[in-house]
Amino acid sequence: MKAVLIEKPNEVVITDVELAPLGNNEVRIQVKVAGICGSDIHAYKGLHPFRKPPVLIGHEISGEVVEIGPSVTRVKVGDRVTVEPQVGCGKCEYCLQGHVNYCENRKAPGIGKWYGTMAEYFVAPEEIVFTLPPDMDYKLGALSEPLAVGVHAVRRAGIKVGDRVAVLGTGPIGLLALAVAREAGATTILATDVFDYCLESATSLGASHTLNISGKENWVEEAKEMVGGPFDQVLIAVGVPGIVNQAVSLVKRGGRIVTIAMFHGEQSLDIMQLQGQEKELIGCFCYTREDTLAAVELLSTGRIRSEAVVTHVLPFTQAADGFRIVDKKEQNSLKVLLTF
């Protein structure tokens, strides 16, 4: 079968790989759509902490089940499905508590022998395969994973009815987190970015205020003035230098900052402000099963206009173009999907 390979940094090719064998509890999915994620771009540049070229890339997927192992009972051939792309050891304290994202032996596509989802077929254990409504657009189904990231971030932040939230960075992850924050009840949502087209999408997904911070020095004060005070929660969805302390200044006393973005290198932190004002800085990595189920439910019921983040749909043979478009933010791109 054909698969998308990041051969070396900045070089994406289509390659031929053997069809993976199917285990007893596994499902073979004919991939219909696979999304290019921000984290795939980190791998593309050779900067991802554990996905290093050469790597068969991809973890966002929707498709149709074409074969099931003998012990599979919940999923059937012909089902329209998506996947939560992580498997824990199942035995450690974290796995037993439902925190697969904490498992020290967590496996994900593109690591070891598990191929990425950007291939004609993808094999996954039944426990992480979830059915979608039979009439759902595959393009929407492929957004379950980034949407689950947004759900997890909103839960980590504890966003509730009436809250005032800032979302820093409105790429696909920031946008989907923003949409979930609104669904959770946030009434005032300010989005910041340096691109107007991203902020227009933020408005369409529920931001009440937007601020283009390009070239601005004192935007933190401006942001607070726009909404009448500091924020209950701040979500960091862009890993640029200085953003952590800006978030610390944006959040109210006792408020929460959740960092979703991937950073390279250490960041400075105004620890005295954090300490003296009881602000909380919270990590956020992937999602749990609960988050994935919520994301699938949000997509299935159409509560969130997730399709607003999709700007490009390309055949997988143009994967190299897709990676370049996302990396360079060409053509006002947000989420780029590959079809198979």
For 48-65, letters b (16+ CB in 10 Å) and e give beebebebbbbbbbbbeb
CA-derived radius of gyration, the chain: 20
- Which residues in the 305-334 window bind Zn ion by CB under 5 A? none
Shortest Cβ 278–Zn ion spacing (Å): 32
Q: Give the number of other Cβ atoms within 10 Å of residue 216's Cβ.
A: 13
Backbone angles phi, psi at 183, to 5 degrees: -65, -35
Instruction: Compute how many residues bind Zn ion; rule: CB under 5 A.
Output: 9
Residue 336: partners with Cβ closer than 8 Å, 6 or more residues away: 35, 36, 311, 312, 313, 314, 322, 325, 326
**Span near Zn ion by CB under 5 A; candidates 83-91, 175-183, 222-230, 239-247:** 83-91
Residue 88 interacting with Zn ion (CB under 5 A): yes
**81, 95, 189, 244: which one binds Zn ion (CB under 5 A):** 95
Smaller CB separation from Zn ion, 188 or 306:
306
Asked if 36 and 338 count as a contact pair (C-beta separation under 8 A), the reply is yes
Instruction: Report, in Å, the least distance between residue 70 CB and Zn ion.
Output: 25
d(CA 162, CA 98): 29
Return the range that interacts with Zn ion (CB under 5 A); candidates 90-98, 116-124, 150-158, 295-303: 90-98
Distance of CA 214 to the CA centre of its chain: 24
Of 87 and 220, nearer to Zn ion (C-beta) is 87
CA 42 to CA 168: how far, in whole Å?
19
Contact predicate 95/103, CB 8 Å = yes
SS3 291: helix
Q: Which of residues 101-130 bind Zn ion (CB under 5 A)?
A: 103
Report helix, strand or coil for 8.
strand
Say which residues have a Cβ less than 8 Å from residue 340's Cβ, sequence separation at least 6.
30, 31, 32, 33, 34, 63, 119, 120, 316
Closer residue to Zn ion (CB): 61 or 72? 61
Written as six digits, the tokens of 222 are: 């401006």
Choice between 89 and 314, CB closer to Zn ion: 89
Q: Which is nearer to Zn ion, 26 or 145 (CB)?
A: 145
CB of 98 to Zn ion, least distance (A): 11
Residue 148 CA to residue 7 CA, distance in Å, equals 29
What is the rounded distance in angstroms from the CA atom of residue 192 to the CA atom of residue 182? 16
Q: State which of residues 47, 89, 262, 274 lies at the interface with Zn ion (CB under 5 A).
A: 89
Q: How far is the CB of 8 from Zn ion (least distance, A)?
A: 22
Within 33-52, the residues that bind Zn ion by CB under 5 A are: 37
Q: How far is the CB of 302 from Zn ion (least distance, A)?
A: 21
Candidate ranges 146-154, 164-172, 174-182, 274-282; the one touching Zn ion (CB under 5 A): 146-154
Min separation Cβ 146 and Zn ion, Å: 5
To Zn ion, the closest distance from the beta carbon of 95 in angstroms equals 3
Considering beta carbons, is residue 85 or 230 the nearer one to Zn ion? 85
Closest approach of Cβ 81 to Zn ion, in Å? 17
Q: Residues in the site for Zn ion, rule: CB under 5 A?
A: 37, 60, 88-89, 92, 95, 103, 145-146
